[in-house]
Chain A
Amino acid sequence: MIKIIRMTLLLIKIDFLIQRKYKLELITSILSKMSIYIVFLLLAIFTDYYTGMNFFYSKFILTGIVVDSILSSALYIPSVVFIQEYRTGRLDLKMILPLSIKELIYALTLKGMLWSAIENSIFIVCWIYFLVHTLFKSIVLTLYFIIITILALYSCLELGFLCLGITLSLEIRGSNPLILFLRTFFVIISGIYFPLDILPAYLRGLFLISPYYYLVNVIRGGEMNVSHLMTMVIMAILYTIIGSFSLNSGIKSMIRKGLWQRWL
Chain B
Amino acid sequence: MRRKVIEVYNISKKFRKNPRLEPSVILGRGHWIVAIIDAIREKSYEYITVLDKVSLTAYENEILGIVGPNGAGKTTLFKILSGILFPDEGYGNILGLDLIKDFQKIKRVVNIIGTCEWLTFYEDLSVRENLEFIQKIYAFSGIKPVRSIDRVLEILNLKERIDEKVRKLSSGMRQKLAIAKCLIAYTPIILLDEPFRGLDILAVRELKEIIKNILSKENNTTILISSHRLSYIEDLCERILIMNKGKIISSINVEKLKEFSKKFMIVELEVYGIYSEILNKLKKIFGHSIVYAFSFKHPYTRIVFRVILARREYSISDLLDKLSKYNIRYLYIEVKDPILEDYFTYLIKNGDR
One of B108, B120, B136 near A93 (C-beta < 8 A): B120
Asked if B85 CB lies within 8 Å of chain A CBs, one says yes
CB distance A7 to B120 under 8 Å?
A: no
Give the A-B contact count at a CB cut-off of 8 A: 113
Check B112 against A96 for contact (C-beta < 8 Å). yes
Nearest chain-B residue to A178 (Cβ)? B32
**Bound-state Cα–Cα, A96 to B138, Å:** 11
Q: Is the CB of B137 within 8 A of A7?
A: yes
**Contact call B107/A98, Cβ cutoff below 8 A:** yes
* Highest count of chain B CB atoms <10 Å: which of A6, A95, A259: A95
Q: A7-B140, A97-B138, A175-B31 are in contact. Are A90 and B120 (CB under 8 A)?
A: yes
Residues of B within 8 A of A261 (CB): 79, 84-85
Q: Which of A235-264 contact B (CB under 8 A)?
A: 252, 255-256, 258-259, 261-264
Residues of A within 8 A of B35 (CB): 170-173
| Contact indicator A89/B84 (Cβ below 8 Å) | no
> Contact: B79 with A93, CB < 8 Å?
no
Q: Bound complex: CA of A95 vs CA of B114, how far in Å?
A: 11
Is B114 in contact with A18, judged by CB distance below 8 angstroms? Answer: no
Q: How many residues of B contact A (CB 8 A)?
A: 44
Contact A96 B31 (CB under 8 A): no
Chain A nearest Cβ from B81, distance in angstroms: 12
Report if A175-B114 is in contact (Cβ < 8 Å); known contacts: A89-B119, A97-B107. Answer: no
Give the Cβ gap from A1 to chain B, nearest Cβ, in Å.
Answer: 12
Fill in one digit per residue for B67-80: 1 if any A CB lies within 8 Å of its CB, else 0: 00000000100010
B213 proximal to A (CB < 8 A): no
**Can you offer 7 A-B residue contacts whose CB atoms are under 8 A?**
A7-B140, A93-B117, A98-B108, A100-B107, A101-B104, A263-B115, A263-B120
The residues of B with any CB-CB pair to A shorter than 8 Å are 15, 20, 23, 28-32, 35-36, 38-39, 75, 79, 82-86, 103-104, 107-108, 111-112, 114-117, 119-122, 124-125, 129, 133-134, 136-138, 140-141, 143
Interface residues of A (CB under 8 A from B): 3, 6-7, 10, 14, 17-18, 89-90, 92-102, 170-177, 252, 255-256, 258-259, 261-264
Contacts A94-B137, A176-B32 known; 9 new A-B pairs at CB < 8 A? A93-B117, A93-B120, A98-B137, A172-B32, A175-B31, A261-B79, A261-B84, A264-B84, A264-B120
